[in-house]
Structures are given as C-alpha cells and as structure tokens.
Amino acid sequence: MGGKHKLPMESLTRIVERVGCRNVSTYIQSGNVLFSASPTLAKRAPRLIQAAILQQLGIEVPVVMRSAAELEQVLRNNPFLGKTRETHCLHVAFLATTPTRTQITALDKQSCAPDQFIVVGDTIFLSLQNGVAKTKLTNKYFDAKFTTTTTVRNWNTVQKLAELATTTAE
C-alpha cells in the first residue's frame, strides 16, 4: 500500500486472521502479509481481505496475492537474472489479473529505455537501470495499460517473501 493509505501491520494481521487465515505474519511496513489458508479460502482471500479493510478501517485498497509456489516460480523464471550482476535494479510487478496478448504487444518497450520489462502471465519482470524512482514503468502506467491492479516489489523483497512463504506453507 502506498503512502496515502497508512495501515499498521498489526491491524492488517488481525484483519487477515479474522477472515479465517492461519499463521499470519507481515514482512516490512509495505502491506506484505504471509498466511496459510485452505484452497477454498485462498481463492476468496483477496476479496475478503479487501472488504474487511474497507469495513473495519474505511480504507479502500486493492489486494494482490501469490502462493508460495507462485513466488518460487517467479524466483526460478526471472529472465533478467544472469544478465546483470546488480540485482538492486531488479523488481517484480505482480498483477491482479493477466493482461491479454493485445494489451502486452501494445506496450512501447522503447519509450522506457534503458529500463526493460518482460511480461509473463500475471507477472512483470523489471530491470530498472536508473532505479525505481526514475522509471516510467510505474504501477500507474501498468494499471492503466492493463486495466488491473499492480504492486511492485524489489528483488530482495521477493526473495525474502518466497523464503518466508515456503516456511509458512509447511
């Protein structure tokens, strides 16, 4: 969640527990929540959590979720790994929905140089050579182009979330 929606992680933890999730924990103050849930609950969790935040705190925020297995797949499939020694420029954008082929091909990859991106399903792998603060490849850009919700995490955070998610899932 961005700067205009301040939500203490303790409050978020309680909300996620109230919708029925177990083993709830958070990672850094940016809306990263890890939890266990039955397959049925996991399918409904984003919608339930979003509704509970709105009802209990009056804040409307999107919820984008990935399973431990999906995070592991992101770690294995980053096409920019091996092409750069500097992982600080690597980021991952997680999309709430999968864009169409037409939406993807309509993106102008040249206009964001030297930054690069590769869309794989509902994930965008980013190589932001000048840093996240200077890129044109923002949440707002992808949200508008794909008519979805995007949340971006740096590579170190994705690695840590995958590690923690694997532990939570056990």
pLDDT, one tens digit per residue, over 19-76 is 999 999 999 888 899 999 999 999 999 999 999 999 999 999 899 999 999 999 999 9
Any domain includes 112: yes
Domain identity same for 47 and 80: no
41 and 85 both lie in a single domain: no
Whether residue 2 is contained in a domain is answered as no
What's the chain look like in SS3?
CCCCCCCCHHHHHHHHHHCCCEEEEEECCCCEEEEECCHHHHHHHHHHHHHHHHHHHCCCCCCCCCCHHHHHHHHHHCCCECCECCHHHEEEEEECCCCCHHHHHCCCHHHHCCCEEEEECCEEEEECCCCCCCCCCCHHHHHHHHCCCEEEEEHHHHHHHHHHHHHHHC
Q: What is the CATH number of the domain that holds 136?
A: 3.30.70
Residues 59 and 84 both lie in one domain: no
pLDDT for position 106? 95
Q: With 50 as the cut, is the pLDDT of residue 138 above it?
A: yes
126 contacts 92 by C-beta, under 8 angstroms: yes
Place of tokens 């999730």: 21
Q: Are residues 34 and 58 in the same domain?
A: yes
- Say whether both 93 and 121 belong to one domain: yes
Residues 55 and 72 in one domain: no
Whether residue 25 is contained in a domain is answered as: yes
Report the alpha-carbon distance of residue 153 to residue 159 in Å, rounded: 10
Q: Are residues 76 and 47 in the same domain?
A: no
Together in a domain, 47 and 86:
no
Confidence (pTM): 0.91
Is residue 1 in some structural domain? Answer: no
Residue 4 maps to a domain: no
90 has pLDDT over 50:
yes
Q: Are residues 79 and 108 in the same domain?
A: yes
Which residue range is the domain that position 129 belongs to?
Answer: 68-168
Report yes or no on 30 lying in a domain: yes
Q: b/e per residue, 75-96, with b = 16+ CB within 10 A?
A: eeebebeeeeeeeebbbbbbbb
* Co-location of 87 and 21 in the same domain: no
- Residue corresponding to tokens 């980013």: 126
Q: What total number of domains does the chain contain? A: 2
Q: Confirm whether 3 is domain-assigned.
A: no
